[in-house]
Amino acid sequence: MDFFTNYVVIFLILLTVLVYVHEMGHFLLARLCGVRVEVFSIGFGPELFGFTDRSGTRWKISALPLGGYVKMFGHSELVTDADGAERAMTPAERQVSFTHKPLLHRTAIVAAGPAANFLFAIVALAILFMAYGQPVSSTTVGQVVPGSAAEAAGLQPGDHIVELGGRPVRSFEDIARAVELGLGEPLELTVERDGQQLVLDARPTVIEHTDVFGYTHRIGRLGIQRTGVGEVVRYDPISAVGMAGQETWRLTVSTLKAVWQMISGSRPSDELGGIISIAKMSGDVARTGVVALVSFAVLLSINLGLINLFPIPVLDGGHLAFYAVEAVRGRPLGARAQEWGFRIGLALVLALFVFATHNDLSRLGVVQFIRDLIT
């Protein structure tokens, strides 16, 4: 029971909140554009309970709580009546039909889901920065590890790092994240030493690091330590929103970079986690406090927004890709082409799900256990 409460329940609560935010983005833009929304569902499958509002939208919780959807009126030229008979839309129905809305409106409605996830990340981070603050440590080098990449590059204690790859750095945390994610990529460091600026070239070493939750990752290691313990900076509302926007952008770029590293082979694909890993991390993170849990929710929200923007049919990005083709051609793709696109997209999503789940089971030792049984 403790396992169910500590992991499954927390994971489902997080997922439900993020799915609700995503689908609410679609819902609000659809209503703003005059589209009738027939169903707003958290989860898939049979309805557990729900209600119908004044506008005719059915709000419901469904049996399989791993996602959700918004069903809009008018995805084809025909309408099915209560008796099952099909007929053409009336002029009034065309006014509230998704398919009959201008391309710009349809694009905005589809893009609103991922946009809502990014907005959630900014709002949540801004609240954290106002209420709890943001850790900020000096970029002055405290120690240089002997034999490290930093020593080979010529870094010395007391050097003040001002730029990394030509971009200003604000804190030691910025340096650490860039080095860890960059793996062994060459780095150009601009440092201040004795009142002068020097440009040093470093190539971090790549190590396997096990975090506090027991997960192993490949990261870059430069070999420097910071001075002191840093401070926690709290921001006023305007500054907090600005910093939250910057942090959301940084997390987005970092996520895309990690995905590209997996595609290119510089980062092992077995680091990709699925539902089981996310559920375990949700429980592990929740036990460390509310700040860590909200930060994890922010990261999940950004990932949910990004995944849905990938140009894969069945995802929001696939619909947006179809709309881009429609904008170029001046008319939508044919029904058969779209149907095949959705079939291929569904196959890709299912394959990714199976692969990620295999990784999860491998980390838990289940795959090896099964191999031992049959060999």
Catalytic residues: 23
In angstroms, the CA 263 to CA 286 distance is: 31
* Cβ neighbours of 196 (radius 10 Å): 7
